[in-house]
Structure 1
């Protein structure tokens, strides 16, 4: 018997790295006839319209982010608008949209509402007779690690090779304990949301994180739904001509592409060590990175004489680039990534050699990097100080050269293991089967 189409509302955390995966999932659900209403800040909405591939079924619902004292600039709507230190205030502003969200849910009458950080949504939805799903765009390894530390009496953490360095342990504890809007600790926001929701879901698959699924289900006593990888649709646009022309000047697979997402900040010394390490490799490179902290442009942070020394073989760009298309360019052979969830998926789908360089302040990237560098051995992580977490130009150069040397044992191993993962993700009906099953599980919530 054919199941009736669902109407799903979504309210992701106000960051492009969260909103975009929710839209991508919406496209997959709309392909199967389901209707989606996504709450998106008013002025941000236009920047995301191009991602909506099914406008007859997916509606972007504008929501006003209220001003919170101390949140600058005035009118800030997403994490890309504010200094990282002000992100907790942005979460407070998001919490203050609760009345707007309630009015919208009453008006829209969806069957299910998806959320990630708004821990108050499940109780609100329940009062209105709506089911709720806490949907994480990241995998399960970080959640499993956290749960294992909070519940040391429960055995069975599935991967002993995933160990945090001392500086990462300190950062992990700091992030867990930090206030993340309205006096709520970050860890409590996630825990309360998960306990109250009708279901917990992750953008992941059993073929990569199966043991972590089993572990979390055992500890939480709650079933974990998996949407699969949710691969973005292939871009129909072409690479910007100036980048295409520049990359075309180098031989196949020789260029290092290096990117760190929209929220990664480096202090000047580490910013310069990164650039000097790429210079030291002797290979052509293309870096997409924000200016170092306290600087208005990437050029202002260049090491002395750097620009002249790498002219013709190195580009450092401080703006947005078409990452998917760059990774597909035949001249690009290595991807140095911050290991963010979306970038890691694009990395695994590429045919580039992978180098993981996790910025100093992260919540989950170090777990993702460790999973693919240590457990799957599908890439190499840049070595950093155990205590201070600092890398050097030599460690950057060493990591890149180790994977780019086609004759090295490391290069051969990570290339083969990466290919295995890529073949799994791109195998026939792999993703569509996950999405179909995900839809069935959501339908089961409504019965």
Structure 2
């Protein structure tokens, strides 16, 4: 191997929101001439094969996910099981340690990038491999959720503690609502993998690393990055926005022909990602809110709790009333291509990190409907700090969503008001920054420079 060519191994959590951004970074590194060995569940590899833009430099290493009691046979990713079973899947991932260690010993990469498998540094470092915690969450969210400067009782999180940011957190509008705090505290204090709380796992994963990496840029989250470098006492490496690759295929004829029946920038596209499953009443409030706008809409949603299909869960008479102007389906949809269609003018999103980036570089107005984890903080970063979208109002105590609130938020950015124009202008400015020629190349170049520095003991 060329002395200037780095060899980077990757082993992210078995969730689509983790696997995908790791592959995006792999493509950027490979485009710069570096080799990537990507550990991925065996049956999941075919789903990602066509996203590998550099098969000569990016190698998928199949991982057999052990069966764990409580998981359906053949489970490989979070897309296969509901959230309560994720802890069992984490246990299965932990059981791959011997295979990962043996393979790392064989392939001898310079670095391994990881997130949830907190044990990776303990097996990689004795082999002379540097360990980078590559976090798919936003620095703003990670900073708010950090235990730096907090007073935890017996290392346990409380709702009161999460209602306020940690000491030293940048001046910001980012805060959590009571219902979000309850959900987050329950998650942090619950077992995630056998014998380990989620908060403990994440703390070890961050602090055991040689450096921490994010796919963001100082132009968007500079103060939060500075805070994190101080909080974790580790070098911070920024990969830039790591934007989605331009689609290599056209939008399927079925989607394209349906969208072409509407005027430019009038269609609402609503998607809550691959894992959000709503209660039936909240599912119905959401789709009724889309209907209430009077605008055409396309919603990609999973069937709600207790329903076998999206169609059976729709409100009575909904399909008939919206025939020809509104479509709700439960299938996967090509989000980047849909957001790029001239008829689509609004993106209602759950604010997952990947969707957040795709929304920011689109020309669509952004409506934010966060549900779990970091999504609330992402929404406040976009709506309050950056002022590039509007968040749907919710019940602060119970998180209740109403059709009126959904409609109000969408109309706020889709009408001709001064507010809508200001949001659009702010979004356009940020989009121009993120798409600025040479920005991605600059950040990937700096990312690689910092890797070389770590390899040779510079700047540690």
User: TM-score scaled to structure 2, two decimals?
Assistant: 0.94
Distance 1:205 1:190 in 2: 23
User: In structure 1, the residue corresponding to 2:431 is in which secondary structure?
Assistant: helix
Alpha carbons of 1:252 and 1:32: their partners in 2 closer, same or farther (altered >3 Å)?
Answer: same
| 2:413 equivalent in structure 1 | 403
After superposition, where does 1:358-397 map in structure 2 within 5 Å? Answer: 358-359=370-371, 362-397=372-407
Alpha carbons of 1:78 and 1:154: their partners in 2 closer, same or farther (altered >3 Å)?
Answer: closer
Conserved? CA contact 1:199–1:222, under 8 Å:
yes
| 1:259 equivalent in structure 2 | 271
Alpha carbons of 1:287 and 1:205: their partners in 2 closer, same or farther (altered >3 Å)?
Answer: same
Distance 2:39 2:383 in 1: 36
Alignment equivalent of 1:429, drawn from 408, 433, 438: 438
Q: CA deviation at 1:154?
A: 6.8
Distance 1:215 1:30 in 2: 30
User: In structure 2, the residue corresponding to 1:358 is in which secondary structure?
Assistant: coil
Flag structure 1 segments of 5+ consecutive residues without an equivalent: none
Distance 1:158 1:423 in 2: 25
After superposition, where does 1:129-144 map in structure 2 within 5 Å? Answer: 129-144=128-143
| 2:422 equivalent in structure 1 | 413
Q: CA deviation at 1:150?
A: 5.4
Alignment equivalent of 2:217, drawn from 205, 213, 230: 205
Q: CA deviation at 1:223?
A: 1.8
User: TM-score scaled to structure 1, two decimals?
Assistant: 0.97
Q: CA deviation at 1:155?
A: 3.4
Q: CA RMSD in A?
A: 1.3
| 1:94 equivalent in structure 2 | 93
Distance 1:195 1:314 in 2: 48
Distance 1:410 1:357 in 2: 19
Conserved? CA contact 1:339–1:356, under 8 Å:
yes
Distance 1:38 1:294 in 2: 36
Conserved? CA contact 1:357–1:381, under 8 Å:
yes
Alpha carbons of 1:314 and 1:8: their partners in 2 closer, same or farther (altered >3 Å)?
Answer: same
User: In structure 2, the residue corresponding to 1:190 is in which secondary structure?
Assistant: helix
Q: CA deviation at 1:149?
A: 6.9
User: In structure 2, the residue corresponding to 1:135 is in which secondary structure?
Assistant: strand
Conserved? CA contact 2:141–2:377, under 8 Å:
yes
Question: Displaced runs of 4+ in structure 1, greater than 3 A?
Answer: 152-155
User: In structure 2, the residue corresponding to 1:238 is in which secondary structure?
Assistant: coil
Distance 2:181 2:241 in 1: 28
| 1:9 equivalent in structure 2 | 9
Conserved? CA contact 1:148–1:157, under 8 Å:
no
User: In structure 1, the residue corresponding to 2:327 is in which secondary structure?
Assistant: strand
Alignment equivalent of 2:450, drawn from 428, 438, 441: 441
User: In structure 2, the residue corresponding to 1:384 is in which secondary structure?
Assistant: coil
Flag structure 2 segments of 5+ consecutive residues without an equivalent: 152-164
| 2:71 equivalent in structure 1 | 71
User: In structure 2, the residue corresponding to 1:380 is in which secondary structure?
Assistant: strand
Match status 1:37 vs 2:37: yes
Conserved? CA contact 1:154–1:219, under 8 Å:
no
Q: CA deviation at 1:3?
A: 6.4
User: In structure 2, the residue corresponding to 1:315 is in which secondary structure?
Assistant: strand
After superposition, where does 1:272-283 map in structure 2 within 5 Å? Answer: 272-283=284-295
Match status 1:127 vs 2:126: yes
Distance 2:423 2:75 in 1: 42
User: In structure 2, the residue corresponding to 1:269 is in which secondary structure?
Assistant: helix
Distance 2:85 2:171 in 1: 35
| 1:319 equivalent in structure 2 | 331
Distance 2:172 2:188 in 1: 21
Q: CA deviation at 1:426?
A: 0.4
Q: CA deviation at 1:174?
A: 1.4
Q: CA deviation at 1:190?
A: 1.2
Distance 2:255 2:149 in 1: 47
Q: CA deviation at 1:358?
A: 1.2
